[in-house]
Each structure stands twice: as structure tokens, then as C-alpha cells.
Amino acid sequence: MSEPYPDNDWTGADTGEQWDLVVYVTDASPRGLRAIENLRRACEEHLAGRYQIEIVDVLKNPRRAAADQILAAPTVVRRLPAPIRKLVGDLSDSDRLLIGMELRR
């Protein structure tokens, strides 16, 4: 379901904030790779140059996952801008991705 996203609907584009995102995946699972791919595409489209994505493999770093309160994978955590937001899933639902990240009001 691809649809046009009018520029004036984007919040991140106007504020000029730095976005700090973490993606928690399990190893190189197709679902995780898909989530990373979906996230990158959205960020490139709307937050070009103002975002960074950290990828955490929960199998390699379970204590980090525990400390960060990660139960499901893939999970994207928006650490900045505040408040913290969590998105769960492979982000194939782009509407939910944008709303969940507050990329669109």
C-alpha cells in the first residue's frame, strides 16, 4: 500500500532535530532485515542527514535488550527526540510506522 505523503504532513522535516533510533533484531532474521530496510527507507525519505540507526542483535546482546526493555523483535526505539517511542514489527505497515514514529501527525 504505497501512497503519496504530502510534505506538510511531516513533523521531522520542519524541526531540524537529530533522530536517534535503535533497532533490535534477532541475528539476521528476514523479519529483522525487512524492518531495518523499511526504517531506512522512511528515514532517508523524511529525515535525510538528521538520523542515526543503531542495530542491536538481541541474541548477541541479551542484557542490553533486557536493560532496554525489549521483549519483541524487531523493535525500533526512538530515543530522540523525546518522548521515547517503541515500534514493534517488521514495519511493513508504513502507515503505522509513520504514525508510531510521529513522523506524521
List of residues contacting other proteins (CB under 8 A): 24, 26, 29, 31, 34-35, 38, 58-59, 62-63, 65-66, 69-75, 84-94, 96-97, 99-100
Nearer to other proteins, 16 or 25 (CB): 25
| Cα dihedral value 26, 28, 32, 35, nearest 10 | 150
CB of 3: closest distance to other proteins in angstroms?
15
CA distance 11 to 31: 27
Residue nearer to other proteins on the CB measure, 38 or 51: 38
Cα–Cα distance for residue pair 20/3, rounded to 1 Å:
26
